[in-house]
Structure 1
């Protein structure tokens, strides 16, 4: 079309041109600074102004901790809907949406590989998958990691990020707490190291079971760790909780954690600890 036949609103002057930047920046919830997302990813999603630890996905966490050449295992397991459960939407639809969103079959990823010079078995939870809730598949996947650790005598590392048991699976979900705890007791009898790493958030039945059963229990800075969340507790006791209640620093101060380890130091810390354990 000739320029003189164009409508005025089809012509854009240089002064009217805009550059779309949606999704390129994110505000730190602690210090309020605006962060360039690409730089945040390169910094392992840790704010370089205040040290706030943003949540990261399971696969990225494995990449951060294990040497190249690691293998993802037990990926074939998929949740079913044993109770034909429906709340605001059918459980089957929730599963399908979470699988599309995360690219995972459930809220857990198992890996075997090298952490520094050490051969390890690792289970990492995915909070973006229905709040990292633990159903039958998560329980079975962790149980397989325990069995693999027992068979190879390689140390086990579980990185928790969970809202607790998955209510849509009822008693089948709650059974996983005892199932995993029993497996970890076998590891203790066999003198095979188990390190529990708690990240934001680690709550509910996960905290009440395997997350607190490590030979070493460590956490990232600022992680919410507890059974019921602070809002539920405040509503129950009708009192305001202390500042920082249920955060990892509070738990360390009160003897529930062995250490708080920043994300960028986690790999070296775990490697050194495994050396001390004789792994």
Structure 2
């Protein structure tokens, strides 16, 4: 076989592989794989004479998995069934958890958000490091914790954020249009933010805690990237360390649920 024949064979092989990839993409783009899908994929593989999807390059398999995830996320909700279906697709594509770690974290947050909207609030385990040293009240339940960057802000310059008020429902994704004011902010280190059924608790790196009890007097303002706690003079800024779009939504929906 000459060089021209070899090159021709490579191109034909690439075309067949690409055709098979499109077949797999078409199947997984629904966010689920049923037995008929698997049968059709295997028939296409045999007809084209190519290797299985699990043998493709990681970047290609990850892209296929992400297409399935995008299909599930389209309506803004992720159910337990959706998670099971995506696990099947991940297994079919032979992707390890560490190869799709960020996507799995985003899915977990979106599922948490879905459950909160359905009235099922998460619970932070009592042995969670964020709760260590935090004095909880009788019947107080920690629903969520996250890492934040603290800062003192003398003046918002009109960028007040979205007020979280008792008895006022939250309109989904309305926080996205607000960004924490940065001008004049003085960094104060990092901390853990804990949302309970009664209070908003801050635990600093040094282990000191402060809390705001929910109620008409609580001045809590939400942004797409954090919270602002208004004081008698100035404000304390809590910027979410996570850059996930769902974090602000989780915080907002939780606060709306516990501040009824």
Report which structure shows greater RCO (CA 8 Å, sep ≥6).
2
Which of structures 1 and 2 has the bigger CA Rg?
2
TM range, smaller chain = under 0.3
TM-score w.r.t. length of structure 1:
0.24
TM-score w.r.t. length of structure 2:
0.25
